[in-house]
A and B are shown apart, each in its own frame.
Chain A
Amino acid sequence: AQSVTQLDSHVSVSEGTPVLLRCNYSSSYSPSLFWYVQHPNKGLQLLLKYTSAATLVKGINGFEAEFKKSETSFHLTKPSAHMSDAAEYFCVVSLPSGGSYIPTFGRGTSLIVHP
């Protein structure tokens, strides 16, 4: 079975401090991995994706993620949080299933940014 686990349901940081949102996956295959962000009362927007190229992936708004196969992880980081980063973040793994790739979402991590 394939799955994706976001290790924290909530992460709270102060503005200007680093952000770390953790994601682990389980799979027998080499996955494609995505991070999406959902701001309040909005749809989801792609932050970044990994599709077997460089293991360190840079995304929008200063976010980046590193694919570590040995740890089956794809953690999202940002050096300095901004108030506008407060949102829900979803890790998504896309794995082959019956000849297609079906995305599976983690349960989400709510990022809270304090002034």
Chain B
Amino acid sequence: DADVTQTPRNRITKTGKRIMLECSQTKGHDRMYWYRQDPGLGLQLIYYSFDVKDINKGEISDGYSVSRQAQAKFSLSLESAIPNQTALYFCATSEGLAGGPAPDTQYFGPGTRLTVL
């Protein structure tokens, strides 16, 4: 079984709809991240969470919200989807070091392809 899973894998929706993308991990990591990928732009950080009670905005958080329901679960919501949110979305985890920050390896899910019409 995959260590980081994302549901759904593909989603087509209409402008104005509320959408939730879910991420689950079995790696036991404290840190989780949401990115979007657009062609030619690399991955842009939307939100990140270093533990269940810690939520931080990334570089492109406008129009998005997140919920960290448990150590293993981190959901991304689009409250009112718009066409320029059409993208590939990735969830990632990393271990971190106990008691402090660390530049550690990230482990990525397979991605969710979202299309907003």
User: Which residues of A pack against B, CB within 8 Å?
Assistant: 6, 9, 31-32, 34, 36, 42-46, 49, 51, 90, 94-96, 99-108
Q: Are A43 and B108 in contact (CB under 8 A)?
A: yes
Give A18 to B61 CA distance when docked, in angstroms.
Answer: 40
A-B contact pairs, 22 of them (CB 8 A): A32-B103, A42-B110, A43-B90, A44-B108, A45-B108, A46-B106, A49-B105, A51-B103, A90-B42, A90-B43, A95-B103, A96-B101, A100-B56, A101-B101, A101-B103, A101-B104, A103-B103, A104-B45, A105-B35, A105-B44, A107-B41, A108-B40
Q: Are B105 and A43 in contact (CB under 8 A)?
A: no
Using a Cβ–Cβ cut-off of 8 Å, how many residues does chain B contribute to the interface with A? 24
Q: Do most interface residues of chain B lie in helix, strand or loop, or is the interface mixed?
A: strand
Interchain Cβ contacts within 8 Å, total number: 56
B41's closest neighbor in chain A, by CB? Answer: A107
Name, among A6, A32, A94, A106, the residue most crowded by chain B CB atoms within 10 Å (CB to CB). Answer: A94
Known contacts A42-B110, A43-B110, A43-B111; A102 and B45 CB within 8 A of each other: yes
Give A46 to B92 CA distance when docked, in angstroms.
Answer: 12
Give A9 to B41 CA distance when docked, in angstroms.
Answer: 10
Distance of A77 from chain B, by nearest CB (Å): 20
Q: Are B105 and A34 in contact (CB under 8 A)?
A: yes
A44-B90, A44-B108, A102-B58 are known contacts; what are 6 more A-B pairs with Cβ within 8 Å? Answer: A43-B108, A99-B101, A101-B102, A102-B45, A105-B43, A105-B44
Q: Are A43 and B103 in contact (CB under 8 A)?
A: no
Interface residues of B in 86-117 (CB under 8 A from A): 90, 92, 101-106, 108-111
B50 part of interface (Cβ distance < 8 Å): yes
B34 part of interface (Cβ distance < 8 Å): no
Q: Are B109 and A43 in contact (CB under 8 A)?
A: yes
